[in-house]
Amino acid sequence: MDAPYSRIKVEPTSGALGAEVSGVNLAAGIDDVTFEEIHRAWLEHHVLFFRDQRITPAQQTAFAEHFGPLEVYPFIEPLPGHPHVIPIIKEKDTRFNFGGGWHSDMSYQERPVMATMLHAIEVPARGGDTLFADMSAAYDALSQGMKDLLQGLRAVFTAAKVHGAAGLYSDADHPMAMKKDAGREQARFLHPVVRTHPETGRKALYLDLPHVERLENMRVHESLPLMEFLYQHATQPQFTTRFRWRKGSLAVWDNRCVQHYALNDYPGQRREMHRITIEGDVPR
């Protein structure tokens, strides 16, 4: 039986993953015992939600540092004085949002980020929810034959499909000015299609449409049928949960076994979030 929680209250969501955590005031800081309970709940539920956290960028940074060293995001200017905090903003009059489409953050790196932390500064009156999908549950539900087929298979990950010269975020109507980094945009890395979580030992599907170019030793058109099957399989409703943001909400999710999708369904309304990412390891 899992050890009980003494410092926090954990209430699982109604979906396949996720839990709301209460009894924590992140503005006041947390001690190591409290973080141990948060971390244990995070590994079990994959994404944690905290409500009514009116915290500063410095306080968000301090909380994120409990998880590990922080990543510097290469394509967006951070908040002044806070090099690890980037503003994710969609203005009222722009069409595109940031993070629309199922993906795992920064999977195009040699060492993809372990975790993402998002804090709601301004949210629309309606819309702007985020969907999350459990890649471990999706893997577990595959047939043994499909698991055998995927064993040892790797995919080519790249930032070019999103951040390259002809990528998704090259459109002039994108809500945020993106920094250019030709080296990172064009780099390609091989990661396993099924990765093993370094802390829990569970296997999870690991590939996402915005960042995967093709499967190793295959052409793009040869790769697509299998990739599209896996994308559609992994994002079925039974593997997902949906989070409705309020001002002050904070979420932290495990990119090693979770994909997410920021919905773009709030035309004429403004949304601002502050994001921090935590360094990860090489997928195995």
Would you say residue 283 lies in a domain? no
Would you say residue 82 lies in a domain? yes
* Residue 56 Cα to chain centre, angstroms: 21
The confidence score (pLDDT) of residue 138 equals 98
Distance between CA atoms of residues 195 and 107, nearest Å? 12
The confidence score (pLDDT) of residue 165 equals 54
Would you say residue 2 lies in a domain? no
Backbone angles phi, psi at 54, to 5 degrees: -90, 85
The confidence score (pLDDT) of residue 240 equals 98
The confidence score (pLDDT) of residue 183 equals 73
The confidence score (pLDDT) of residue 1 equals 40
Would you say residue 3 lies in a domain? no
Residue 9 pLDDT more than 80? Answer: yes
Of the given ranges (39-43, 111-115, 167-171, 264-268), which has the lowest mean pLDDT?
167-171
The confidence score (pLDDT) of residue 4 equals 87
Would you say residue 67 lies in a domain? yes
Q: Please give the structure tokens belonging to residue 45.
A: 């539920």
pLDDT one-digit tens code per residue, 169-191: 555 555 555 666 667 778 999 99
Would you say residue 239 lies in a domain? yes
- Domain residue limits at 132: 9-278
Catalytically annotated residues: 103, 105, 260, 275
pLDDT one-digit tens code per residue, 36-68: 999 999 999 999 999 999 999 999 999 999 999
The confidence score (pLDDT) of residue 162 equals 85
Q: How much of the chain exceeds pLDDT 70, in percent?
A: 93
pLDDT one-digit tens code per residue, 201-258: 999 999 999 999 999 999 999 999 999 999 999 999 999 999 999 999 999 999 999 9
Q: Enumerate long-range contacts of 104-107, CB under 8 Å, 24 or more apart.
A: 104/135, 104/206, 104/208, 104/211, 104/255, 104/258, 104/259, 104/260, 105/255, 105/260, 105/277, 106/71, 106/73, 106/255, 106/277, 107/157, 107/191, 107/206, 107/207, 107/208, 107/211, 107/212, 107/255
Single-letter residue type at 180: K
Task: Return mean pLDDT, the chain.
Answer: 94
Residue 118 pLDDT more than 70? Answer: yes
Would you say residue 81 lies in a domain? yes
Would you say residue 4 lies in a domain? no
Give the number of domains in the chain.
Answer: 1
- Residues 100, 104, 105: CA angle, nearest 5 degrees: 85
Q: What is the CATH number of the domain that holds 41?
A: 3.60.130.10
